[in-house]
Amino acid sequence: MSESQPVRGEFELIERYFTRPVPAGSTHVRLGVGDDCALLAGVPGEEWAVSTDMLVEGVHFLSDVDPESLGHKSLAVNLSDLAACGATPRCYFLAIALPRIDEAWLAAFVSGQSLLADSHHCLLAGGDTTRSASGVTITVTVMGTVPQGQALLRSGARPGDEVWVSGTLGAAALGLAFRRGDVRLSGPDADRMIARLERPLPRVALGERLRGIATSAIDVSDGLVGDLGHILVRSGVGAVIEWPKVPIDDALRSQQEPVQRRLALTGGDDYELLFTAPPERRQDVLAAGAATDLTCIGTVLPTGGLVVVDGQGRRVDTGAAFDHFRR
Ligand code: ADP
Ligand code: MG
């Protein structure tokens, strides 16, 4: 089949855009795209960590989204779930519904996705391709491995643990606010915030290094307040967060204080890691961070839900976390 000829149907499309050779020496994927099933090897002493995320046109992205960014982000959000479990990515599956075949769009989508996949040695091992009656829907299922019993869970936070976060918070939400014309940013700040929104970099290496150190972890997809709330509920504890310690980008620092707070505390899509660790493991946490900026922002308490305080210890209003079905 010549690359210049348009694809004539589903099977040519799969052949041209989604078929990847399994690399020689692949330890976990025995058979990838092309048969009825992929075949994955069970490796003794390891557990599979599996996560699925769906992106729906009109809900998670707009129809004029840059397809390369969409390809990147559709995998990045899933790799971020593996990072939050401390898992090493191994392979992924792509189910995609398309209203029509637009090869330029598909080529850009695949390029954005496979660049990120290759950088994590995460092989596209299968999927499904179908026509959609409305917009594009993308479902990615990612599979990784962790040494048995070492996955980072939401349920392990203990009173006295410190609460840590990687990178900065509120940047993706600021990028989105800029896109919508709600805030003004300088050219370089705008570019940096939009990159944070469209090309999040999942904290995979950090998650792997936090195994055996963090007592609980989650990735910040729906905002600090909501996602830390999940850890607290699962762990049966409370926490106090010191707002002045919450790391934010200078572009957000230049906004008014209420905007800073709303975006950093409840803005979604940052895909940073939020985790807890005992204070005596502080040096190990910082060593695990290596090249990543890590900030201690608070402490786990025995009870009392989540409280955010300002520099004087007064309660700060946090607003509500994002929820698709909130009434
Ligand atoms: P089936 O009819 O058994 O579901 P398909 O014709 O849908 O098989 O798929 C053929 C092969 O192509 C399978 O190995 C499947 O995993 C793979 N495949 C289909 N769509 C995709 C996709 N979007 N990405 C990756 N692999 C895909
Ligand atoms: Mg199929």
pLDDT, tens digit, for every residue of 105-151? 999 999 999 999 999 999 999 999 999 998 999 999 999 999 999 99
pLDDT in tens, 282-316: 999 999 998 899 999 999 999 989 999 999 999 99
Same structural domain for residues 44 and 139? Answer: yes
The verdict on the CB of residue 36 being under 6 Å from ligand 1 is: yes
State the residue range of the domain holding 189: 162-309
- Confidence check: pLDDT of 319 > 80: no
Same structural domain for residues 257 and 295? Answer: yes
In a domain, 263, yes or no: yes
pLDDT in tens, 57-109: 999 988 899 999 999 999 999 999 999 999 999 999 999 999 999 999 999 99
- The neighbourhood of ligand 2, an ion, using CB within 5 A, equals 128
Tell me the average pLDDT of the chain.
Answer: 94
Same structural domain for residues 169 and 134? Answer: no
Overall domain count for the chain: 2
The verdict on the CB of residue 14 being under 6 Å from ligand 1 is: yes
> What is the domain-level CATH number for residue 78?
3.30.1330.10
pLDDT in tens, 2-32: 456 888 888 899 999 999 889 988 999 999 9
Q: What percent of the chain has pLDDT over 90?
A: 88
Same structural domain for residues 126 and 237? Answer: no
Per-residue b or e along 162-198, where b marks 16 or more CB atoms closer than 10 Å to that residue's CB:
bbbbbbbbbbbbbbbbbeeeebebeeebbebbbebbb
The verdict on the CB of residue 94 being under 6 Å from ligand 1 is: yes
User: Alpha carbon of 100 to those of 2, 103, 132, 188: distances in Å?
Assistant: 21, 9, 8, 36
Which of 122, 147, 172 is the last residue before a domain boundary?
Answer: 147
Same structural domain for residues 33 and 126? Answer: yes
In a domain, 141, yes or no: yes
- Confidence check: pLDDT of 251 > 70: yes
| Mean pLDDT score, 167-189 | 96
What pTM, to 2 d.p., does this model score?
0.94
Q: For residue 323, what pLDDT is reported?
A: 60
Q: What distance in Å separates the CA atoms of residue 194 and residue 224, rounded to the nearest whole number? A: 19
Same structural domain for residues 166 and 44? Answer: no
Which of 92, 123, 147 is the last residue before a domain boundary?
Answer: 147
Q: For residue 304, what pLDDT is reported?
A: 87
Q: For residue 326, what pLDDT is reported?
A: 64
In a domain, 200, yes or no: yes
Contacts of 236 (CB under 8 A, 6+ apart): none
Which listed ligand is nearest to 9 at the C-alpha?
1
Same structural domain for residues 116 and 185? Answer: no
Pocket test for ligand 1, best of 129, 131, 137 (most atoms within 8 A of CB): 129
Q: For residue 83, what pLDDT is reported?
A: 98
In a domain, 210, yes or no: yes
The verdict on the CB of residue 13 being under 6 Å from ligand 1 is: no
Same structural domain for residues 139 and 28? Answer: yes
Provide long-range contacts, Cβ within 8 A and 24+ apart, for 55-64.
55/137, 55/138, 55/139, 55/140, 56/135, 56/137, 57/134, 57/135, 57/136, 57/137, 58/135, 59/324, 63/135, 63/136
In a domain, 319, yes or no: no
Which of 147, 181, 208 is the last residue before a domain boundary?
Answer: 147
Same structural domain for residues 188 and 140? Answer: no
Q: For residue 1, what pLDDT is reported?
A: 46
pLDDT band at 317 (very low <50, low <70, confident <90, very high): confident
Which listed ligand is nearest to 139 at the C-alpha?
1
